[in-house]
Amino acid sequence: MSAAQNECQSLVLAILTISDSRTRADDTSGDLLQACALDAGHQVKARHIVPDDRYQVRALVSEWIADREIQAVLTTGGTGLTGRDGTPEAILPLLDKCIDGFGELFRALSYQEIGTSTLQSRCLAGVANGTVVICMPGSTNACRLAWDKIIQFQLDSRTQPCNLVQLMPRFKE
């Protein structure tokens, strides 16, 4: 493997925490995702917190997927079943394609940690305007599981036999 192939391609990410109660002072899930992204050699162009309001979520994510610099959007929160949880409803209309395997794999891995409670997670991923969008639960442990077991590998251009990075140019075709 050449030196160029041995280096991870740096991506530009945006991170969104969806919560009625979190602030920057206690946004441990957003902090974790930012630290993981930076540790992996990626750049974080934007990071925000918005309330559990599908229209505010949709507006901000729409802005990010229209931004040609941002290659991936990571969201945390709003994927549960309670009355205000609306991340899937906010994001699904924006997606050109769903990556069904993300939610399936996340729930399979999560089952090993929290058992059948994982069926309450409506986490999802997809592609919108060539941008990867990954929506995770608000729990810091859930974000750590998603990053450690799935996302870090799929956002790493060296992961074989395939990864989302190598598909990014083709998302726009």
**pLDDT above 70 for 64:** yes
Supply the pLDDT for residue 5. 58
Mean pLDDT of 44-54: 97
Residue 63 counted as domain residue: yes
Residue 143 counted as domain residue: yes
Residue 69 counted as domain residue: yes
Mean pLDDT of 67-74: 97
Residue 1 counted as domain residue: no
Residue 112 counted as domain residue: yes
Supply the pLDDT for residue 2. 42
What CATH number has the domain bearing residue 25? 3.40.980.10
Residue 3 counted as domain residue: no
Mean pLDDT of 116-131: 96
Full residue range of the structural domain in which residue 39 is found: 9-171
**pLDDT above 90 for 139:** yes
Residue 4 counted as domain residue: no
Between strands 97-98 and 124-128, the pairing is antiparallel
Residue 59 counted as domain residue: yes
Q: Report the number of distinct structural domains present in the chain.
A: 1
How many other CB atoms are there within 10 angstroms of residue 49's CB atom? Answer: 18
